[in-house]
């Protein structure tokens, strides 16, 4: 059993099923993936509620809506002018795009060529919206792996993702749950200032409470 599978088992036994991504459909997942850039999910939820109230929470509607209107609706998410431009660009790029015609790498490259979509956002869309087996790496992942002493040549996005995907089964449900469990653990326990005393992983961890 790989070190990553052991870590997943411990997280899952502690927290259980997470039921991510919190959205009603494909379009809403993509919208949420853009809105969650550089902000907390609670702010994203407020922005999505505004979009739903205005009947704008789908790619077709956003592609036909002005950036100013979108910006006004998504203010709670922060950086609303930048995100409005990204949402409109993404909506236009994906509204008629059939990802099922392409393989994972082709879909990923297509997403990365959309202005405003980086590796984490692209992989979130691949995993949660398109349901393709791609592991999402974020700042929480990097924090946790460093603290529990998993040694890599570096902690860059691709290095971490590649190492994890080589040592786990390429399973959508596994990658979905794993990313969600890491986020949950790092939001409430393995925080920037870690709560090591209450952490069930502290016997494996080099981090000391500060």
Q: What are 51-89's pLDDT values in tens digits?
A: 999 999 999 999 999 999 999 999 999 999 999 999 999
Q: What is the mean pLDDT of residues 137-158?
A: 94
Q: What is the mean pLDDT of residues 185-203?
A: 92
Do residues 59 and 30 make contact, with C-beta atoms less than 8 angstroms apart?
yes
Do residues 28 and 57 make contact, with C-beta atoms less than 8 angstroms apart?
yes
- Residue, of 112 and 210, whose pLDDT is higher: 112
Domains delineated in the chain? 3-19+135-204 (1.10.1670.10), 26-129 (1.10.340.30)
pLDDT over threshold 50, residue 200: yes
Both tokens of residue 68? 């100013």
- CB-based contacts of 122, cutoff 8 Å, min separation 6: 108, 111, 112
């Amino acid at each position: 059993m790989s070190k990553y599978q052991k870590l997943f088992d411990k997280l899952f036994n502690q927290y259980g099923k997470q039921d991510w991504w919190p959205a009603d459909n494909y379009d809403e997942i993509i919208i949420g993936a853009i809105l969650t850039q550089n902000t907390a999910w609670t702010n994203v939820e407020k922005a999505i509620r505004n979009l739903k109230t205005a009947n704008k929470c789908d790619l077709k509607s956003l592609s036909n809506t002005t950036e100013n209107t979108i910006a006004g609706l998504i203010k709670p998410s922060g950086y609303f002018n930048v995100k409005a431009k990204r949402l409109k660009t993404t909506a236009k790029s994906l509204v008629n795009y059939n990802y099922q015609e392409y393989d994972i790498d082709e879909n990923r490259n297509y997403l990365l060529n959309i202005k405003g979509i980086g590796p984490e956002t692209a992989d979130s869309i691949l995993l949660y919206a398109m349901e393709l087996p791609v592991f999402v790496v974020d700042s929480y992942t990097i924090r946790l792996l460093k603290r529990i002493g998993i040694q890599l040549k570096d902690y860059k996005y691709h290095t971490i993702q590649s190492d994890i995907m080589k040592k786990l089964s390429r399973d959508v449900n596994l990658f979905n749950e794993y990313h969600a469990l890491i986020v949950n653990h790092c939001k409430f326990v393995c925080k920037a200032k870690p709560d090591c005393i209450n952490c069930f992983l502290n016997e494996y961890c080099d981090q000391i409470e500060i």
